[in-house]
Chain A
Amino acid sequence: MKWVRWAAIFFLLGVATACLLAGFIAPASYAHQFRDLPDAAPSSQHPLGTDDLGRDRFSRLLYGTRVSLLLAPAAALLSSLLAAVIGGAAGFAGGRLQVCVTAAIDLFLSLPWLFLLIAVRALMPLNVSPLASVAITFALLGCLGWAAAARVICADAAKLADSDAVLLARATGSGGFRLLWRHIVPNLKPVLSAQFWISVPVFILTEANLGVLGLGVAEPLPSWGSLLRELEGFSTLSAQPWQFAPLILLIVTVSCFHLAMQKREDWA
């Protein structure tokens, strides 16, 4: 089903382009409150209507998608790098270091990170701009999301370290950093790539969950999380189906990420 994968990639490219050109496409500022038009139905002026404060939903969706789609890959990159360094080093070194790192990963995965995120958000300085707030949120997600990927990479690196190819490289005099850089890391690239692509939708959904808790992106900056919060009042949604637009976009985008990375997983 090659065409499905290409359709997914084109869709993602289309969404990314629309987000980058949001300043030209959006009919209004994402923060502007048309206070005489709260909860308005879709119209030529507001293609997806307005929210409860009279802000243009379409503009907020464009900017919110930009925030979530730009920062989620950045957080995924950070967590993948951390996973590569920690998991790769432990797997390559083996012995007690591997045992210790594996135990640390198990501990890390068992901790209730949601509560930690709430606590960290509460400890953060209050006077941070919405942009800084969103950057910190995703940086935190990136810093906390490495453990699952590190376990996979650690296991893979350990297997590689015992492989015939690496044994041959050792026999020919390779060792230390050269062995790691020339022989282990290139062979870990497919796994790292797969872990990166898996992390992107995970972070998008995590940010959405934090937004539902009121802990993600600060007002007035929109994100998928803050847009999804409007769906809390589900008893009236049947009367306003256009409120589903962020949810549909989230589902389609996350599905497209999965479709786009299927081939990469095969490489892995």
Chain B
Amino acid sequence: MKRSLILLALLLLADPRARSETELRFCLGAEPKTLNPLLAADDDPSETVRYLTGGVLMRLNRLTQQLEPGLATAWKVGPKGDSIRFTLRPNLYFSDGTPFTAEDVAYTMQRLMDPALHSPTGDEFRSGEGNVLTQVTARYEVTIVFPAPVVGLDKLFDQVAIVSSKSPLKEKAALGPYYVSENKPGSYLLLRRNPNYWKRDAAGRQLPYIDSVRLDIQQNREIETLRLMRGEIDLIERLTAESYDKLAAQAPKTAYDAGVGFDAEQMWFNQVPGAPLPAYKKAWFASVNFRRAISASIQRDDLARVVFRGHARPAVSWISPANKFWFNAKLTPHPYDPKAALQWLAQDGFSLRNGALLDREGHPVEFSVVTNAGNTERERMAAMIQQDLAGIGIRLNIVTLDFPSLIERIARTFNYEACLLGLVDNDLDPNSQMNVWLSSAENHQWNPSQKTPATPWEAEIDALMRAQAATFDANKRKQAVDKVQEIVWRQEPFIYLVNKNVLSAVSPRVRNAHPAVLRPQVYWNIDELYLATEGAKGK
């Protein structure tokens, strides 16, 4: 018996699998569409893989919202805002041992800006017609020149994962903390620690602390929550308010509320002149009094308290209070005021008769709001708004549609009356929303692709957004963006409802996690996370 035990112990010591390798596990909501970091998109799980494996020239600290040096030790944006010069960290290597030089940065930018590649990251750099020039001035110095000024140029490099120009593995060679070791489509991705990762901790120990990261493909968020509670996964990036409360009740140390985030839930009316709607309804929706009345009839506090269980706050404008620099702090959420709503409606000839609101021609005020089927929070919000509007005699019909049908209606046929959706925003710079606020933009949802601005206030927004994009003076830009927020607050083309809090879950065994409001909220400092079982090693 004794001999057997000794033999078993020897076998365990000899077996490399018996080593205590640390593995962090969490779930991706879907299969990444690509593993090529140049093609990763913000709204796809491929962004997670890019973040974990890609080496970037500088990294945005998700807590401080400031840029920190990465592969570049220094950088300088040119005076016209159309160029940037990088000084690179010397003697670095990709995960496969290929040396990293300025040639790789130049190669990455050339590939990224190749129109044939259709890179979503590359699109953000496109400010004008012409080619991007890259000048390698030394082995570790490179200058990139754009055909026109790019607003917020330096921050865009947070998403540019540098790929190797010489490695036989091409984009699979990583400069980030991990590299893709295994990919079982539909099942999981296994990332292993990059042995050549450049970063070290204060004690001089090479990062990351955790040996591998396993990303399980799991679409069902309920199952994801159950798996966290069973200890099968270590973190959940985003929780619903309902799941958060469940977790907080059962495992308080697991649930994190990082405070109000960047995402907003909003409602808007169809103001497209050619929309297949009756003329009297188009007149309602085009009236600012009507929009303000609807806005004043909605109890935003109740939405935040009931639907989001207190993990949201009434929204003010298109920039969340979480965006510390750009939010216009002078503005406050529209209060619930049904009396004022009826007064605004009376100015447009609406009147309340037998509990039903009628317009000046006697049409009962009834309209539909479309939202995406399956989004419980939006369906609940719509049900609450339905009851709120019934209070001023308006009948609201709620229509839930599958997402492709919804997009078809709001972006192509314009056969809808009002829409309730959310805006996912992860960009600090308001310039990223030019495609929403310019009246000529396709994403100007209430009345897209206008040849000339339909209203004076839209013309004013156009001018202000162009003005902020044309200057690099932060104060002037801030003034222009503040003014746009005021116009939007007054005109309410989008009726902002709530800003959701960023809710996440982290297993107690994961240490040094500081959930932030910017994505990725939990693993943004992946190279500094460590597991409790490896406490001594990590520290």
Which A residues touch B416, using CB under 8 A? Answer: 126
Residues on the A chain within 8 Å of B370, using CB = 126
A53 to B53, CA, bound (A): 43
Q: A127-B366, A127-B367, A235-B225 are in contact. Are A122 and B401 (CB under 8 A)?
A: yes
Is the CB–CB distance between B400 and A214 below 8 Å?
yes
A219 and B222 within 8 A (CB): no
| Interface residues as binary, A214-249 with B (CB distance below 8 Å gives 1, 0 otherwise) | 110011100000000100111110000000000000
Closest B residue to A55 by CB, please name it.
B383
Asked if A182 CB lies within 8 Å of chain B CBs, one says: no
Chain A positions 44-58 with a Cβ under 8 Å from a chain B Cβ: 52-54
CB contacts (< 8 Å) of B306 on chain A: these are 33, 35, 38, 52-54
Residue of B243, B379, B380, B397 touching A127 (CB-CB under 8 A): B397
A5 contacts chain B at the CB level, 8 A cutoff: no
Chain A residues with CB below 8 A from B246, complex form: 235-236
Give residues of chain B (221-241) contacting chain A, Cβ–Cβ below 8 Å. Answer: 222, 225-226, 229
Q: Is A70 an interface residue (CB 8 A)?
A: no
In the bound complex, CA of A235 to CA of B225 (Å): 8
What 20 additional pairs, Cβ within 8 angstroms, besides A126-B399, A126-B417? A32-B387, A33-B306, A33-B384, A35-B302, A53-B306, A53-B307, A122-B408, A126-B416, A128-B397, A213-B373, A214-B374, A214-B400, A215-B373, A218-B397, A219-B383, A219-B398, A220-B386, A220-B387, A233-B242, A236-B242
Q: Is A42 an interface residue (CB 8 A)?
A: no
Using A127-B417, A213-B373, A235-B226 as known contacts, say yes or no to A121 and B401 having CB atoms under 8 A apart. yes
Contact (A233, B222) CB under 8 Å given A118-B402, A121-B401, A213-B373: yes
Q: Assess whether B382 is interfacial by the CB under 8 Å rule.
A: yes
Instruction: Please name the 4 residue pairs, one residue from A and one from B, whose CB atoms are nearest each other, closest first.
Output: A214-B373, A122-B405, A126-B368, A214-B400
A-B CB contact pairs (8 Å), 12 listed? A32-B387, A35-B302, A52-B307, A52-B380, A122-B402, A127-B397, A214-B400, A215-B402, A218-B398, A219-B382, A234-B222, A236-B242
- Return chain A residues, CB-CB under 8 Å to B402: 118, 122, 213, 215
Q: Are A126 and B397 in contact (CB under 8 A)?
A: yes
User: How many residues from B make CB contacts under 8 Å with A?
Assistant: 36
> Contact: A215 with B400, CB < 8 Å?
yes
* CB-defined contacts of A163 to chain B, threshold 8 Å: none
A contact face: mostly helix, strand, loop, or mixed: loop
Q: Which residues of B contact A143 (CB under 8 A)?
A: none
User: What's the least CB distance linking A137 to chain B, in Å?
Assistant: 13
B376: A residues at CB distance < 8 A: 229, 232
When chains A and B are docked, how far (Å) is the Cα of A118 from the Cα of B400? 10
Contact A31 B387 (CB under 8 A): yes
Q: Residues on A close to B: CB < 8 A?
A: 31-33, 35, 38, 52-54, 118-119, 121-122, 126-130, 213-215, 218-220, 229, 232-236
- CB closest residue in chain A, given B370: A126
* Identity of the chain B residue whose Cβ is nearest the Cβ of A218 in the assembled complex: B398
What residue of chain A has the Cβ atom nearest to residue B381's Cβ? A53
Shortest distance between the CB of B252 and any CB in chain A (Å): 16
Contact across chains for A53 and B383 when beta carbons are under 8 A apart: yes
CB nearest neighbor in B for A236: B246
- Which of B366, B380, B416 has its CB near the most chain A CB atoms (within 10 A)? B380
Pairwise interchain contact B383-A218, C-beta atoms closer than 8 A: no
Of A52, A130, A214, A233, chain B has the most CB atoms within 10 Å of the CB of A214
Nearest Cβ in chain A — how far from B371, in angstroms? 9
* Nearest Cβ on chain B to A225's Cβ, whole angstroms: 12
Question: Which residue from A54, A218, A232, A234 sits with its C-beta under 8 Å from B399?
Answer: A218
| Per-position 1/0 for B98-119, Cβ under 8 A of A | 0000000000000000000000
Contact with A along B357-382 (1 / 0, CB 8 A): 00000000011101001101001101
Which residues of B have CB within 8 Å of A234?
Answer: 222
Which chain B positions have C-beta within 8 A of A214? Answer: 373-374, 379, 400
Smallest CB separation, A138 vs chain B (Å): 18
Closest Cβ of chain A to B395, distance in Å, is 8
**B363, chain A: closest CB distance, angstroms:** 12
**Bound CA span A118–B406, Å:** 12
Nearest residue in A to B247 (C-beta to C-beta)?
A235
Nearest chain B CB to A102 CB, angstrom units:
33
- What does the 1/0 interface line of B394-430 toward A look like (CB < 8 Å)? 0001111110010010000001110000000000000
Q: Which residues of B contact A122 (CB under 8 A)?
A: 401-402, 405, 408
Residue of B nearest to A130 (CB): B397
Enumerate chain B residues within 8 angstroms of A38, measured Cβ to Cβ. Answer: 306
A236 proximity list for chain B (CB < 8 A): 242, 246
A266 → chain B, closest Cβ, in Å? Answer: 42
Chain A nearest CB, measured from B397 CB (Å): 6
Contacts of A54 in B (CB 8 A): 306
Given B243, B387, B417, which contacts A33 in the complex, CB threshold below 8 Å? B387
A235 to B505, alpha carbons, bound, how many Å?
16
**Residues in B whose Cβ lies below 8 Å from that of A31:** 387
Chain B residue numbers with a CB within 8 Å of A229 are 376
- Report the Cα distance A215→B372, complex, angstroms: 10
Given A118-B402, A213-B374: A129 touches B384 (CB 8 Å cut-off): no
Chain B residues, Cβ within 8 Å of A215: 373, 400, 402
On whether A127 and B222 interact (CB within 8 A), knowing A33-B384, A52-B306, A218-B399, the answer reads no
Q: Collect the chain A residues with CB atoms within 8 Å of residue B229's CB.
A: 235
Query: What is the CB-to-nearest-CB distance from A251 to chain B, in angstroms, rounded to a whole number?
Result: 22
- Residues in A whose Cβ lies below 8 Å from that of B415: 126
B204 to chain A minimum Cβ distance, whole angstroms, is 44
Please give, as numbers and ranges, the residues of chain A lying within 8 Å of B400 by CB-CB distance.
214-215
- Which residues of the partner chain A approach B398 to less than 8 Å between Cβ atoms? 218-219
